[in-house]
Amino acid sequence: MIFTDSALISRVAHTVREQRLFKPADTLVVGLSGGADSTALLDLLTRLPGYNLTLVAAHLNHGLRGAESDADEEFCRDLAERYAIAFEGRRLDIRALAAADRHNLEDAGRRARIAFFDEIRTKYAAAAVALAHHADDQAETVLMRLLRGSGMTGLSGMSYRNTRGYVRPLLAITRAEIEKYLRSCGLAWREDSTNSDSAYLRNRIRHQLLPLLEEYNPAIRSGLAATAEIIRGDESLLLTLTDTAFAESCRGGEGIITCSVARLRMFDLPLRRRVLRHAFKQLAGTLAGVSQLHVDVLCDTLNSGRPNAQLSLPNGVVAVREYEHLKLMFAGDRKLHTDFEFFITGPGSYPLPCGSSITIDAITAETFPTDSSTVHVDLNKTPFPWLVRTFRPGDRITPFGMNGSKKVKDIFIDRKIPPSDRRRIPLVYCGNDLVWIAGVCISELNRLGTDAHAVVKATYIRQ
């Protein structure tokens, strides 16, 4: 006589409710390989009390094991027919895909499965894709990431639900419990011969490392899974703190993330590292290739006495420190401002290549308030035409209120104007004399006398 393990069904139903994996009457795509895990998952989903799910079995034939792969596909097709559910199968040459995209077989297979499952989910408007990862898989994942080197995000293992809408109802169930359930139900399954291939790190962990660790702790598998669950909870809290700190210190727009150096310095080092990683991911969409070394170098840049610096980061991202700002952007998207040069010949509006402008207006006021962005010019002393051009090394000006001249570069440094902005700032010459660094500094030569009558107002409007 065959008995169904009702206790296991209840545990899975509890996980589904507690983790809010899906709702009653939802449509789910079930990743079905024919192995013990996915076979048990399919059966369990049909038995969840009160759910009445619509299931779609999805099987991807990787074509790596010839007749064995084809037999797995046929087994899955028959299983779907037995449960009277839709079956979606596809065959791909994973070896050819891996060679074409320069990925290893494992990575190529994973990418192909994701693309396939996403396609089927869209086709059926499914609420989620259900995968059969279990507690033993979780333990292996944690060990694999620990061996390769990982932070808390990696050590938190697999989640019950990820951002793609993939759910893992069996993540708290062990492989031994799954096989016991299948035997109690009289259900057969397929064994994948590659699961014993020691060429794969996961298999070496499963068949060599974990049995060795069990000699020290017989409950190592459940212990690692429990540790991953604790870390995942802590990671969720830290993500919330990181989001808040990022919002306080950084802003994004037009393919650039700009962070306040002073605000970042206020954070403790662990939070500062997290904010920088978050900023990178916000820009690039991934943290692939970003190591702790990259993050530490960014932190060093924040603390450096050098006010300006540039770093090359993975995925074509550059980090630029400019005084009190740290900017992350793509190297190819950096706005390089070309030199410009033109003449102002009279009143009117004169656009600049960077989107800013200089406007000249004739005025008759008796008082002439002046600041660095609006100047009043006596045409008897500073007649048209005026030459407007970009900064060049060696440029000098006699600042308002001074007798001697000063290098424009030194004024930029004193005012902490970032190097990337210096070529946007128009310099206005009358003959050989620099009379105005627009928006920055007025020349003593521009001082208005009591006999000034032919006066125009020059306004710099910065974009």
Q: Which two tokens stand for residue 54?
A: 């619509």
Question: Around 364, how many Cα atoms within 13 Å sit in the side-chain half-sphere?
Answer: 0
What are the b/e assignments for 404-426, b being 16+ CB within 10 Å?
A: eeeebbebbeeeebbebebebbb
The closest of 113, 107, 68, 119 to 92, measured between CA atoms, is 113
pLDDT at 293: 84
CA pair distance 236, 253, nearest whole angstrom: 26
pLDDT at 144 over 80: yes
State residue 430's pLDDT score: 93
Q: Which of 372, 400, 381, 399 is nearest to 458 (CA)?
A: 372
Residue 197, pLDDT > 80, answer no
Structurally, at CATH architecture level, domain 254-333 sits in 2-Layer Sandwich (3.30)
Q: What is the 3-state secondary structure (H, E, C) of 421-458?
A: HHCCCCEEEECCEEEEECCCEEEHHHCCCCCCCCEEEE
Confidence category of residue 45, pLDDT binned at 50, 70, 90: very high
pLDDT given for residue 443 in this prediction:
93
* Range(s) of the chain covered by CATH 3.30.465.60: 254-333
User: What whole-number distance in Å separates Cα of residue 15 and Cα of residue 176?
Assistant: 18
Six-digit token string for 43: 């059966």
Q: Does 450 have pLDDT greater than 70?
A: yes
pLDDT at 420: 76
Q: For 95-189, list the strands marked E by DSSP.
A: 128-130, 166-167
Q: What is the pLDDT of residues 311-333, one digit of tens each?
A: 888 888 988 898 899 999 887 65
CATH 3.50.40.10 residue window(s) in the chain: 341-461
Q: Is the pLDDT of residue 444 over 80?
A: yes
Q: Report helix, strand or coil for 63.
A: coil
N residues, the chain:
463
Cβ atoms within 10 A of the Cβ of 436, count?
Answer: 28
Q: What is the pLDDT of residues 297-312, one digit of tens each?
A: 899 989 888 888 888 8
CB 426 within 8 A of CB 389: yes
Instruction: Name which CATH class applies to 341-461.
Output: alpha beta
148-170, pLDDT tens digit by residue? 878 788 889 999 999 899 999 99
pLDDT at 130 over 80: yes
Q: 228-281 pLDDT, tens per residue?
A: 989 989 998 999 999 999 999 999 877 899 999 999 999 999 999 999 999 999
Query: Which pLDDT score, from 0 to 100, does residue 333 have?
Result: 56
- CATH no. of 6-228: 3.40.50.620
pLDDT at 89: 95
Residue 82: what pLDDT? 96
Burial of 27: CB neighbours in 10 Å, binned 0-12, 13-18, 19+? middle
If one compares 115 and 363, the residue with the highest pLDDT of the two is 115
455: its two tokens = 């006066």
Structure confidence by residue, pLDDT tens digits, 222-232? 899 889 989 98
pLDDT of residue 336: 47
Confidence of residue 352 (pLDDT cuts 50, 70, 90): confident
Among residues 461, 456, 462, 463, the alpha carbon closest in space to that of 345 is found at 456
What's the whole-number mean pLDDT along residues 26-44? Answer: 97
Average pLDDT over the chain reads 89
| pLDDT for 363 | 83
- Core vs surface per residue 298-320: b (16+ CB within 10 A) or e: bbebbeeeeeeeebebeeebbbb
Q: Would you state the pLDDT for residue 26?
A: 97
pLDDT at 28 over 60: yes
Instruction: Write the pLDDT tens digit of every residue in 66-97.
Output: 889 899 999 999 999 999 999 999 998 878 87
> For residue 364, which phi and psi values (nearest 5 degrees)?
-130, 10
Beta-carbon contacts of residue 47 (< 8 Å; ≥ 6 apart):
4, 9
Q: State the first-to-last Cα distance of the chain, in angstroms, to the nearest integer.
A: 81
pTM over 0.75, yes/no: no
- Residue spans in the chain of domains classed CATH 3.40.50.620: 6-228
